[in-house]
Chain A
Amino acid sequence: MRIDKDLVAASATPLVLGILMEGDLYGYAIIKRVSELSGGGMQWTDGMLYPLLHRLERLGYVSSSWGTSEAGRRRKHYAITPTGRDALADRQEQWSVVADALRQVWQSAQQPPAAIEGWA
């Protein structure tokens, strides 16, 4: 299943922040984790992750530091900041309201006849 582009974009920030809550990571590992979490359903354009990470850094949600990989290459690691945690908590609330509303609407869509009969 392909997830709609807008939905991917909207969920990118809370997903990245949420993944960083599990521990510091570098870009490729974040992408892999997204793919794992969505059972392969969410395929990001890998290159787009970095401008997003840089934006989150500019907003103060994450901090970065350069380290080295096992192979000795330069590698940039990202960690969530206290401001980022607050932002994530805020997003989480928003998403749970949305998810809750969606769940209710799916449920009522599945069993419409009962309510209508009463009025007939």
Chain B
Amino acid sequence: MMEQHAELEAQIGRWRGYVQRRQAISRADIDELEDHLREQIADRQATGLDDEEAFLVAIKRLGNLDAVSREFAREHSDRLWKQLVLVPEDSGGAGTPPWRELAVVLALAVGAGLAVKVGTMWLDDEAVLARNLGLLVFPFLGAYFAWKRRLTASVAVMLLIPFAALAVVLNVYPFVSGGSTEVLAILHAPVVLWLLAGVAYVGGRWRSDNRRMDFVRFTGELAIYFTLLALGGAVLVGLTFGALSVVGIDLEPVMEDWILPFAVPGALVVAAWLVEAKQNVVENIAPVLTRVFTPLTIVMLLTLLAVFTAAGGLVDVDRELLILMDAILVLVLCLLLYAISARDTLAQPGLFDALQLVLVIAALAVDAAMLTAMLTRIAEFGFSPNKIAALGLNLLLLVHLLRAAWLTVGFLRGQRPFGALERWQTRYLPVYGAWAAVVILAFPPVFGFA
């Protein structure tokens, strides 16, 4: 029996190999399609067709593989998130040659470096420089995406108007030197700029949940690539330092004046390009990283909680600790977002999802402890821009985490699809941008620029 159908089996094997090359179609999907194909073949054989004919009919009925693959890609954009345009409609055009993209990236990286260098030369006041640093680098990252995604004029205008408004506000507001509203504006400006970069990254399709998730993935991978570049750069610079100090040359001034202003913004642009070009490498690391760091972060949060309870609460802790804890919570949130973005939407709930719930609940407990501490401080010492900014951020985090916990419970119980949890994350993201904008725009005038 098997011998008779050897040729048919070989044909099905070849078909499998051919379909496997499509990135949008996973192995499980191929199993599903193969089952379909074999059923169809069996039915055709029952009507009297021979193996060859039955196979041809079954393949034809399955449809054009390009079209089917494109449909899979549309549904499972996470498998192909690197290609924002998904599968090109016609594979005839070869696209831009690789060397041209590299040239554009290098030019933009040098440009970003130059902008920062010129900024450090012209803007003597350190606070003024800090306010403008993001504004100096953003255009080059934005330009890369604008070039890569061929942004339409309307999207470009949509990006330029908030960018210009931000630049004006940051430079026209009469900040009191060293005041906390200035520090808050410096801290919140990158958040707004990063979300603007996100609009450029998704090619203006910021309303789409899937595209927003792509941007979350991009942000996570960018952080990894940037860290790798920074580590490599640090080793290189350290060795050069050592070698030159032996012969009595001090590299320190060159480092501050030339290497850092060019290397850091340049590395950011190059990292963005690397994420675009080399996702496959990191794609396999992302789930591993989140699986390693989720349990570790849970341990960290629980330790912190235990220490605080033992110390009798957070009531009379100093400001520094509250700010540090805010940073930790934001980091936990980033980890959560990244873990969600790296997960296969259709996978059944498992142990790791339960772990994620534990992480969210631990973060909620920390957030609640911080909120009580803050409210007590506000009741005791009154309002200040710092406290309101921190309180606002903590409330945003609280809402975000509460709903995430609720949806995760629903997912673990099988009452909700994982997509609901994903959508909550992507829909909530702009809220942070809006809050950052409020802190930059409204806080200084409200608090007298102090």
> Chain A interface (Cβ within 8 Å of chain B)?
26-28, 31, 45-48, 50-51, 54-55, 57-60, 63-64, 69, 71, 73-76
Contact = CB atoms under 8 A, between A and B. Distances in A.
B36 A46 contact: yes
A27 B31 contact: no
A59 B346 contact: no
B29 A50 contact: yes
B346 A46 contact: no
A28 B62 contact: no
B35 A75 contact: yes
A32 to B, nearest CB: 8
B85 interface: no
Contacts, number: 81
Interface of B: 28-29, 31-36, 38-40, 61-65, 67-68, 71-72, 74-76, 345-346, 414, 416-420
B31 A74 contact: yes
A50 B29 CA distance: 8
Contact of B419 (A28, A60, A75): A60
Nearest to A76: B32
A54 B35 CA distance: 16
B416 A46 contact: no
6 contacts: A27-B35, A27-B36, A45-B67, A46-B36, A46-B63, A60-B420
A41 to B, nearest CB: 15
Given A46-B40, A54-B29, 17 more contacts: A27-B36, A28-B35, A28-B36, A45-B62, A45-B63, A47-B65, A48-B71, A50-B29, A50-B32, A50-B33, A54-B76, A57-B346, A60-B416, A60-B417, A69-B35, A69-B39, A76-B32
B33 A45 contact: no
Nearest to A49: B36
Nearest to B32: A76
A58 B72 contact: no
A34 B29 CA distance: 21
B345 A58 contact: yes
A58 B417 contact: yes
Contacts of B74: 51
Contacts of A54: 29, 72, 75-76, 346
B75 A51 contact: yes
B345 to A, nearest CB: 6
